[in-house]
């Protein structure tokens, strides 16, 4: 909350679910508008600050942000540079909050998102699968390991 505008926004939403919902909707729409990584990160920083407002409604705001992350990741399914930050932000929230993790595991939209072929491949490749499965062991079957094509029919290296 270094920026004055952010400080005022966090005070504005404290204790007001309707205001929080509108603010989070605007912030996430803004994040969806920019493909520039620094602009996107700026919006997600505001979302983090809105979640962190200490008024007893953190879980409510966290749920709103998770829903928006899933919706925008699905909307941008074929644009990895837009899909991935939303997916990563949802996973970041889940890593820090067991209730948020459980919400994602039970979300059919999230399970559908990670089982979609391009999203599943991005999780499977680059060593991301092990961290994903460590956080979401219930979804291990949805994101199986990539097959090893380097072995021939006999099992000998080709």
- Give pLDDT, residue 34: 80
- Give pLDDT, residue 33: 87
Contact 50, 13 (CB under 8 A): yes
Contact 143, 132 (CB under 8 A): yes
**E-assigned strands of 43-155?**
none
- Give the separation between CA 126 and CA 141, rounded to whole angstroms: 18
Dump the DSSP string for 49-68: HHHH--SS-HHHHHHHHHHH
Tokens found for residue 62: 């966290």
What are the per-10-residue average pLDDT scores of the chain (158 residues)?
66 88 92 82 91 92 95 89 90 95 95 94 88 96 84 56
- Give the separation between CA 108 and CA 110, rounded to whole angstroms: 5
- Give pLDDT, residue 103: 95
What are the φ/ψ torsions at residue 152 (nearest 5 degrees)? Answer: -80, -175
Tokens found for residue 147: 């097959």
- Give the separation between CA 80 and CA 106, rounded to whole angstroms: 24
The answer, as to whether pTM is greater than 0.75, is: yes
47: left (phi over 0), alpha (psi -120 to 50) or beta: alpha
Q: What is the DSSP letter of 125?
A: G
**E-assigned strands of 26-144?**
none
- Give pLDDT, residue 79: 85
């Amino acid at each position: 909350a270094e920026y004055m505008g952010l400080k005022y926004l966090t005070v504005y939403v404290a204790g007001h679910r309707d205001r929080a919902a509108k603010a989070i909707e605007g912030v996430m729409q803004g994040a969806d508008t920019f493909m520039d990584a620094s602009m996107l990160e700026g919006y997600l920083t505001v979302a983090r600050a809105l979640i962190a407002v200490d008024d007893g409604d953190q879980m409510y705001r966290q749920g709103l942000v998770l829903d928006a992350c899933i919706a925008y990741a699905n909307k941008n399914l074929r644009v990895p540079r837009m899909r991935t930050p939303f997916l990563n932000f949802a996973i970041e929230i889940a890593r820090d909050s067991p209730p948020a993790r459980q919400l994602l595991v039970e979300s059919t939209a999230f399970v559908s998102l990670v089982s979609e072929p391009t999203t599943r491949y991005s999780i499977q490749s680059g060593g991301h699968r092990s961290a994903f499965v460590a956080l979401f062991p219930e979804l291990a079957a949805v994101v199986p390991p990539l097959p090893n094509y380097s072995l021939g029919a006999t099992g000998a290296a080709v």
